[in-house]
Amino acid sequence: GWCPLSPTGAQTTQLFVEPPWRPAVLWDRVTLTCQGSGTTGATTWYKDGQRWGQEGPNQFTVTESGTCTCERPSTGISPPMTVLNDQLMLQVPAQALLKGDTVKLRCRG
């Protein structure tokens, strides 16, 4: 799922989250994928505003709670994705929602 969706045609860096639910929870084995222009190996990851390792792959599995972003050379820094470690969570699909949409909620514990 996208987090969040950008306007059609916009050149921005985005984060995909799997499984596609928000907020993401650590015990769900969350995988983040960074997508934007530039070469595959040029993704820089940040956690809680701090650089999280060197430039590397555009996908990884989250092992710590916190707020993640990624940066791609041509399109900049993605919107943030928060991964929580709460014991009970009400989740919504990780996609753009419009007024009047039917939404499937998920209660996890």
What the block records as the tokens of 62 is: 């989250």
pLDDT of res. 20: 92
pLDDT of res. 92: 83
What pTM was estimated for this model as a whole? 0.77
Q: Tell me: pLDDT of 2 over 70.
A: no
What the block records as the tokens of 40 is: 């595959």
* Domains present along the chain, CATH in parentheses: 14-108 (2.60.40.10)
What pLDDT, in 10s, does the model give residues 40-73? Answer: 557 889 999 999 865 667 888 889 999 999 988 8
**Closest by Cα among 74, 81, 75 to 60:** 81
* 78 or 109, which is more confident: 78
